[in-house]
């Protein structure tokens, strides 16, 4: 176990930025701290680094309590969001800085810097100054500088925030490769769920200072602990329904809810991919009009309007779209393949329901 | 990257004017106006000072400067500047650091206080020190008792000059430090540097140019201050007479060539600092250019990645 937080709280004046957060990061893990801005994730990262002091709770690095250990002595590597390269030093001196401070011999420094330049694909750039580098190069220098003194853990604050979309993708892949090569425990902060899912082994999700869930990308996607996580990890259709006669209803939509007394309010959620569409109006129980198609690369997002005005979101690949012969304004039939009843934010979510397992809702008028 | 920007700009300077560009008439009127102003009010008087100084030949010029009283004035001016400038650097760094990096109550008041010497007439500043340290002044009796002289002596001149030059370094540093922020320093801390190493290797170099400008302005003012020094120095020839005072008294005694000789030296001292700064800037530009070109040859030699 590389890093452990136990009941860590951080208050800035009256506001609680981080509220009794506990989790552990295993040796060699690549961990994402995910959440909307203001969620407290950067504060957690800075507390691990020692740039902020916890108001309550303990932080351990490799079993040693580090609350009172200064940032200089924690042996962490920190990559700042805007890289914070030393503007007056060239690439070589930037990377060598930590080694010089630690009193390494000149020959060792040169060897280590050369090694990092090679790993980070920066060979030939050592004489350049930060303002003469591109955004991606600057970040690679920042990572090399943080890695140079061989830190126990590498901490990155929004590492892909300051570059454009194309380089983002490249940097993500680079971080994964780097991590698998060096196997250094790595924690990074991001507000982008897709980024967290793609890059990390495990994700810690924060909202308003609270730890909402911790798990592998698959776990948080398939078994979200609460509605916040369910909504935050991927788009979700969320509907407030009321039970009448064992069926949860909202407008024309119906979901089986046997055993629930009449009048019970149920919040139901389903992923866009669970909304199945057909141009054959008789195939699925509900009718809708395809209002808009959003092109997101190979995936498309569809906005469907039911006769009552209810809007549902669906997702499909370009090929499926073409196969079905869909276009904006077209009338289609649809069904919700599976869904889950969303619990209140504290209680865990019940397992996902298969619409198929139940009797098809009896809505004869739509067929 | 810089190259691309330049290209784009020069391309847009063809026949077709950019939408935001002023008419050629407005452009040239403004340029000529600025040039004419500089010529009449800056360059012409400066040239005149040197012309007058050398009007009677090199010999007279040299003799005017080596006259014991002039020599004393030159020495005194250099001493005063040598004390004031370091004090100002220390104070300016401390004040700028406090204002740029910390949040505290009374920050606005501190900023106003730093500006105070700019808004007070130097003569008033001089009088303040007379009121404080003169024989009839607040600390006068105590000073007499301990046989210490401040006004009408070198300490008074130094005090008055420090007061007048107070804002220069701080004023130049505050915006630079605020713009730099504290991330670079935090980065140094995460890499194991202590406070002093961080200051020396990171903070100071990052505010270098602001500091140099501040020092140049401070130095020029410290050497050239007249009003405040005139009041506290009593203008004793050979003892408390600085170069500006010496210029004035020579001029009063109808020794124009000598007055201009000392004046030209004063101007030269100020110009010297400007030249030094320009050389430093030029050297840095050359270093950057060298780094860039080295890099380019390295890239053509091997397929390095360019994002």
- B307:A135 CB<8 A: yes
A76: number of Cβ within 10 Å = 27
pLDDT for res A367: 22
Confidence band for B158, pLDDT divided at 50, 70 and 90 = very high
Residue A361 CA to its chain's centroid (Å): 36
Q: Nearest-CA neighbor of B235 among B253, B220, B219, B221?
A: B253
**Partner residues linked to A114 by β-bridges:** none
From residue B180, how far is each of A60, A126, A344 by CA, in Å?
32, 23, 45
Name the residue of chain A whose CA is nearest to B289's CA.
Answer: A128
Token pair for residue A109? 């420094």
pLDDT for B296 beyond 60: no
- Per the DSSP assignment, residues forming a β-bridge with A207 are A210
pLDDT of residue A79: 94
User: Element (H or E) spanning A240, and its range?
Assistant: strand A237-244
User: Rounded to 10 degrees, what is the CA torsion of A129, A133, A137, A139?
Assistant: 70
Identify which of A239-253, A338-352, B200-214 has the greatest average pLDDT. Answer: B200-214
Test A86 with B304 for CB contact under 8 angstroms: no
Most confident of A327-336, B148-157, B282-291: A327-336
- For residue B184, the model assigns a pLDDT of 92
Partners of A205 in beta bridges: A34, A213
Q: Are strands A153-157 and A76-79 parallel, antiparallel or unpaired?
A: parallel
pLDDT at A351 over 70: no
Query: Taking CB atoms and an 8 Å limit, are B206 and A87 in contact across chains?
Result: yes
Question: In this complex, is the C-beta atom of B205 within 8 Å of any C-beta atom belonging to chain A?
Answer: yes
Which of B1, B183, B188, B192 to substitute to test the interface with A, most A CBs within 10 Å? B192
Taking Cα atoms as reference points, which of A109, A79, A80, A71 lies closest to residue A93?
Answer: A109
For residue A102, list chain B residues with Cβ-Cβ distance below 8 A.
Answer: 192
Q: Which residue of B has its CA nearest to A151?
A: B191
Grouping H, G, I as helix, E, B as strand and the rest as coil, residue A68 is coil
Which of B190, B208, B299 faces A76 most closely, judged by CB atoms?
Answer: B190
Q: Report the largest interatomic distance among the alpha carbons of chain A, rounded to a whole angstrom.
A: 83
Predicted pLDDT of residue B12: 44
Give every strand in the sheet of A311-317, ordered side by side: A275-278, A331-336, A286-296, A299-305, A311-317
State the smallest CA–CA distance between residue B294 and chain A in angstroms: 7
Mean pLDDT of A186-198: 89
Name the residue facing B191 among A101, A134, A136 (closest C-beta).
A101
Q: What is the DSSP string of A111-155?
A: HHHHHHHHHTT-TT-TT--GGGS-HHHHHHHHHHHHHTT--SEEE
Set of chain A residues whose Cβ sits within 8 Å of the Cβ of B301: 124
> In this structure, what DSSP letter does residue A269 have?
E
Q: What is the mean pLDDT of residues A188-208?
A: 90
The answer to whether B200 contacts chain A (CB < 8 Å) is no
Task: Average the pLDDT over B114-125 and give the result.
Answer: 89
Cβ separation A145–B191 shorter than 8 A: yes
Question: What three-state secondary structure class fits A253?
Answer: strand
- The pLDDT value recorded for residue B295 is 53
Q: Tokens for A293, please give them.
A: 């198609």
The CA-based dihedral angle spanning residues A246, A251, A255, A256, taken in that order and rounded to the nearest 10 degrees: 20
- Least Cα separation, residue B146 to chain A (angstroms): 49
Contacts of A122 in chain B (CB under 8 A): 304
Q: Taking CB atoms and an 8 Å cut-off, how many pairs form between chains A and B?
A: 101
B127 has a pLDDT exceeding 60: yes
Confidence of residue B10 (pLDDT cuts 50, 70, 90): very low
Taking all residues of chain A, what is their mean pLDDT, rounded to a whole number?
86
Phi-psi region at B5: left, alpha or beta (left = phi > 0; alpha = psi -120 to 50) = alpha
Q: What are phi and psi of A317, to 5 degrees?
A: -85, 165
Residue of B nearest to A79 (CA): B187
- Quote the pLDDT of residue A359: 36
Nearest-CA distance from A117 to chain B in Å? Answer: 11
Chain A closest CA to B158's CA: distance in Å? 35
Residue A243: count other Cβ atoms within 10 Å of its Cβ.
Answer: 19
Partner-chain residue, chosen from B184, B190, B208, that has the shortest CB–CB distance to A71: B190
Between chains, do A86 and B202 touch, taking CB under 8 Å as contact? yes
Are B298 and A136 a contacting pair at CB < 8 A?
no
pLDDT at position B294, please? Answer: 65
Please give the residue of chain B at the shortest CA–CA distance from A96: B191
* Top-confidence residue, A362 or B96: B96
Can you tell me which residue has the tokens 């009121």?
B131
B235 touches A at CB < 8 Å: no
- The residue of A12, A61, A72, A134 whose CB has the most chain B CBs within 10 angstroms, and thus the best one to mutate to test that interface, is A72
Q: How far apart are CA A72 and CA B189, in angstroms?
A: 6
Instruction: Calculate the average pLDDT of chain B.
Output: 84
Nearest to A349 by CA among A150, A213, A206: A213
B188 shares contact with chain A (CB less than 8 Å): yes
Contacts of B194 in chain A (CB under 8 A): 72
User: Sorting pLDDT into bands at 50, 70 and 90, what band is B102?
Assistant: confident
> pLDDT band at residue B143, thresholds of 50, 70 and 90?
confident
Which residue in chain B is spatially nearest to A85 when comparing CA positions? B184
Q: Name the residue among A49, A87, A129 with its Cβ closest to that of B190.
A: A49
Whether the pLDDT of residue A222 is over 90: the answer is no
- Spell out which residues of chain A touch residue B190, defining contact as CB-CB under 8 Å: 49-51, 71-72, 76-78, 146
pLDDT, tens only, A16-67: 999 999 999 999 999 999 998 888 899 999 999 999 999 999 999 999 999 9
Check A137 against B187: CB less than 8 A apart.
no
Q: What is the distance of C-alpha B93 from the center of its chain? A: 15
Q: Which of A50, A82, A127 has its CB closest to that of B294? A: A127
Question: Given a cut of 90, is residue B161 above it in pLDDT?
Answer: yes
The predicted structure's pLDDT at residue B8? 43
Q: Do A85 and B184 touch (CB under 8 A)?
A: yes
pLDDT, one tens digit per residue, over A61-111 is 999 999 999 999 999 999 998 899 999 899 999 999 999 999 999 999 999
Cβ-based interface (< 8 Å): residues of A facing B: 49-51, 71-73, 76-78, 80, 82, 84-90, 97-98, 101-102, 121-125, 127-129, 132, 134-137, 145-146, 149, 167, 170
pLDDT at res. B299: 47
Averaged over A256-280, what is the pLDDT? 83
pLDDT classification of A159: cutoffs 50, 70, 90: confident
Q: Provide the pLDDT confidence category of residue B16 given band limits of 50, 70 and 90.
A: low
**Cα separation of A332 and B6, whole Å?**
56
pLDDT at B166: 87
CA–CA separation, A211 vs A188, rounded Å? Answer: 15
Write down the pLDDT at residue A310: 87
- Interface predicted TM-score (ipTM): 0.76
Q: Per mean pLDDT, which of A137-146, B7-16, B56-65 is the most reliable?
A: A137-146
Q: What pLDDT, on a 0 to 100 scale, did the predictor assign at position B193?
A: 92
pLDDT band at B24 (very low <50, low <70, confident <90, very high): confident
Which region among A151-165, A346-360, B58-72, B87-101 has the lowest average model confidence (pLDDT)? A346-360
Q: Tell whether B263 lies on the interface with A, counting CB pairs under 8 A.
A: no
Residue of chain B nearest A136, judged by CA positions: B307
Per the model's pLDDT, the better-predicted residue between A233 and B306 turns out to be: A233
Whole-angstrom Cα distance, residue B247 to residue B239?
Answer: 15
Please name the residue of chain A whose CA is at the shortest distance from the CA of residue B1: A132
């Amino acid at each position: 176990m590389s890093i452990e937080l136990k009941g860590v709280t951080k208050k800035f004046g009256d506001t609680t930025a981080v509220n009794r957060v506990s989790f552990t990061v295993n040796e060699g893990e690549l961990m994402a701290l995910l959440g909307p801005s203001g969620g407290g994730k950067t504060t957690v990262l800075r507390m691990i680094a020692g740039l902020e002091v916890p108001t309550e709770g303990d932080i351990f690095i490799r079993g040693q309590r580090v609350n009172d250990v200064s940032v200089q002595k924690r042996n962490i590597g920190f990559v700042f969001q805007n890289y914070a390269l030393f503007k007056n030093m060239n690439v070589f001196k930037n990377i060598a800085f930590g080694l010089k401070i630690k009193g390494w011999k000149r020959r060792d420094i040169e060897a280590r810097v050369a090694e990092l330049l090679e790993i980070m694909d920066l060979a030939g750039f050592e004489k350049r100054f930060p303002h003469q580098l591109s955004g991606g190069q600057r970040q690679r220098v920042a990572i090399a500088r943080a890695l140079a003194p061989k830190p126990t853990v590498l901490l990155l604050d929004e590492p892909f925030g300051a570059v454009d979309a194309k380089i983002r993708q490249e940097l993500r892949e680079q971080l994964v490769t780097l991590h698998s090569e060096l196997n250094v425990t790595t924690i990074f902060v991001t507000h982008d769920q897709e980024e967290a899912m793609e890059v990390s082994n495990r994700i810690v999700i924060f909202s308003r200072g609270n730890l909402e869930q911790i798990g592998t990308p698959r776990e948080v996607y398939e078994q979200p602990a609460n509605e916040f996580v369910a909504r935050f990890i991927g788009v979700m259709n969320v509907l407030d329904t009321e039970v009448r006669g064992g069926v949860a209803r909202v407008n024309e939509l119906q979901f089986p809810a046997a055993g629930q007394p009449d009048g019970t309010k149920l919040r139901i959620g389903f992923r866009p991919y669970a909304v199945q569409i057909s141009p054959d109006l008789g195939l699925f129980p509900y009718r809708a009009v395809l209002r808009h198609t959003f092109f997101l690369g190979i995936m498309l997002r569809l906005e469907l309007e039911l006769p009552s005005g209810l809007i549902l979101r669906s997702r499909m690949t370009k090929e499926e779209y073409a196969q079905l012969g869909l276009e904006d304004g077209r009338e289609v039939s649809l069904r919700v393949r599976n869904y889950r009843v969303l619990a209140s934010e504290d209680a865990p979510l019940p397992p996902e329901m298969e619409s198929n397992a139940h009797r098809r809702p009896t809505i004869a008028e739509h067929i | 990257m810089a190259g691309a920007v330049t290209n784009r700009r020069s391309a847009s300077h063809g026949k077709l004017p950019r939408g935001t560009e002023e008419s050629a008439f407005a452009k040239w009127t403004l340029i000529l106006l600025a040039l004419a102003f500089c010529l009449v009010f800056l360059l012409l008087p400066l040239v005149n000072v040197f012309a007058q100084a050398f009007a009677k030949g090199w010999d007279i010029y040299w003799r005017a400067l080596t006259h014991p009283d002039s020599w004393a004035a030159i020495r005194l001016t250099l001493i005063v500047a040598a004390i004031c400038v370091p004090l100002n650097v220390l104070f300016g760094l401390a004040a700028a650091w406090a204002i740029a990096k910390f949040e505290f109550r009374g920050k606005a008041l501190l900023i106003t206080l730093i500006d105070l010497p700019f808004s007070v007439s130097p003569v008033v500043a001089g009088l303040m020190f007379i009121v404080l340290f003169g024989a009839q002044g607040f600390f006068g009796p105590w000073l007499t008792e301990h046989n210490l002289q401040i006004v009408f002596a070198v300490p008074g001149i130094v005090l008055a000059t420090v007061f007048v030059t107070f804002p220069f370094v701080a004023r130049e540093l505050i915006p630079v430090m605020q713009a730099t922020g504290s991330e670079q320093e935090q980065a140094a801390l995460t890499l194991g540097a202590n406070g002093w190493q961080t200051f020396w290797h990171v903070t100071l170099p990052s505010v270098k140019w602001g500091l140099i400008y501040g020092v140049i302005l401070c130095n020029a003012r410290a050497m050239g201050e007249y009003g405040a020094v005139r009041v506290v120095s009593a203008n004793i020839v050979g003892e408390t007479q600085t170069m500006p005072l010496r210029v004035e008294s020579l001029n009063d005694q109808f020794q124009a060539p000598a007055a201009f000789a000392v004046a030209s030296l004063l101007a030269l001292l100020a110009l010297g600092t400007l030249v030094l700064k320009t050389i430093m800037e030029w050297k840095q530009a050359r270093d950057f250019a060298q780094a860039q070109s080295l890099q380019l040859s390295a890239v053509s030699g091997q397929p390095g990645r360019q994002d």
